[in-house]
């Protein structure tokens, strides 16, 4: 075989393009269980977009041996004093890791192990994050502009959202004196 092919996707000028790009958005109404301050939440517009994800899924979900790629865009904002953030999840097959690499903005990658120890890593353009197997992960936008990052994960990893939806992380990331602080709930 001697063929020179075009790439299936490109990411030029912050735009992911190609066939089969899957796009989703998550609005406040989809995230009711994750934010701590339910009063603040009830006074906000349910339709506010918190984050968007564009993914390139070249193989079927749950395929062993494949890889997925996605870009997450988290809008700036707070619910009460908690930063806009993703739902967060363990992988369904827990021993699957993941890479994140920050494109724009500033934020925090919040990590929690199975014993519910929670810590965070700063995200800024160019920061790289290796999320080890068996670790729940969530990202929060701590800046005034969109936080965007690339993610690379195994196609059989899947997502366990239920554990976080029910029990949350053991700490929340709040804005205190204009700075992000990991606080006990």
Give the Cα-Cα-Cα angle 147, 150, 156 (nearest 5 degrees).
Answer: 130
Of residues 54 and 98, the one with the C-beta less far from Zn ion: 98
Of residues 1 and 100, the one with the C-beta less far from ligand S6P: 100
Q: Is 35 in the site for ligand S6P (CB under 6 A)?
A: no
Q: Is 129 in the site for ligand S6P (CB under 6 A)?
A: no
**In a 3-state reduction of DSSP, which class is residue 36?**
coil
Tokens of 75: 């809008």
Q: Is 69 in the site for ligand S6P (CB under 6 A)?
A: no
Stretch that binds ligand S6P, among 12-20, 35-43, 83-91, 112-120 (CB under 6 A): 83-91
**Nearest residue to 135 via CA among 155, 109, 101:** 109
For ligand S6P, the binding residues in 152-171 under the rule CB under 6 A are: 153, 159
- 146 CB-near residues (< 8 Å, 6+ apart): 73, 74, 75, 76, 104, 105
Distance CA 101, CA 128 (A): 4
Stretch that binds ligand S6P, among 34-42, 76-84, 86-94, 107-115 (CB under 6 A): 86-94
Q: Between β-strands 98-104 and 147-154, what pairing exists: parallel, antiparallel or unpaired?
A: antiparallel
**Nearest residue to 123 via CA among 145, 146, 111, 141:** 141
- Least separation, in Å, of the C-beta of 16 and ligand S6P? 12
Q: Is 86 in the site for ligand S6P (CB under 6 A)?
A: yes
Cβ atoms of 183 and 175 within 8 Å: the answer is: no
Site string (85-124) toward Zn ion, x via CB under 5 A: -------------x--------------------------
Summarize as ranges the residues that interact with ligand S6P (CB under 6 A). Answer: 53, 70, 72, 86-89, 98, 137, 139, 151, 153, 159
Site for Zn ion, rule CB under 5 A: 98
């Amino acid at each position: 075989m001697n063929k020179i092919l075009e790439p299936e996707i490109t990411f030029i000028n912050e735009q992911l393009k190609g066939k089969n790009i899957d796009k989703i958005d998550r609005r406040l109404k989809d995230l009711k269980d994750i934010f701590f301050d339910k009063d603040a939440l009830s006074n906000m517009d349910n339709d506010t977009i918190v984050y968007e994800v564009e993914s390139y899924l070249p193989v079927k979900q749950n395929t062993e041996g494949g890889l997925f790629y996605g870009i997450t865009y988290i809008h700036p904002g707070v619910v009460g004093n908690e930063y806009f953030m993703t739902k967060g999840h363990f992988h369904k097959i827990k021993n699957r890791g993941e890479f994140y690499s920050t494109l724009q903005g500033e934020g925090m990658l919040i990590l929690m192990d199975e014993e519910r120890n929670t810590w965070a890593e700063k995200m800024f353009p160019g920061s790289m994050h290796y999320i080890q197997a068996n670790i729940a992960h969530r990202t929060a936008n701590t800046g005034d502009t969109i936080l965007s990052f690339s993610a690379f994960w195994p196609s059989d990893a899947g997502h366990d959202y239920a554990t976080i939806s029910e029990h949350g992380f053991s700490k929340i990331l709040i804005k205190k004196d204009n700075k992000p602080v990991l606080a006990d709930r």
